[in-house]
Amino acid sequence: MEVLGRVLARKAISEKRNIVMEIIGNEEEECRSLIDAMVAMGYKISLQQVYCDPAEAHKRHMKAVEEDPHYISAYFTSSYHMKWILDAVKDLLRT
């Protein structure tokens, strides 16, 4: 997973593909570094914030898990996605 994630992130950015990510976004500094990195690569950023009551969020999560046994929450994936994107940007800016 780690190797494939890195390869795909680098390929997507080097080819200037559209990238859609779902992240938790609870840490401003992490979000800022991601945005700054993508802007440095020439991307335009469009943020779509979703907020709901924590009890409602849990209810939605449980429904998703029930309906799709392969569902994985962004809670578990966003740190990987952010790392792969940031590492790809660093690598591409060096070349």
Q: Where does residue 40 fall: left (phi above 0), alpha (psi -120 to 50 degrees), or beta otherwise?
A: alpha
- Distances, alpha carbon 54 to alpha carbons 12, 50, 65, 67, in Å: 33, 12, 16, 20
Considering the chain, what is the average pLDDT of its residues? Answer: 93
Q: What would the pLDDT profile of 42-80 be if each residue is shown by its tens digit?
A: 999 999 888 889 899 899 999 999 999 899 988 889 999
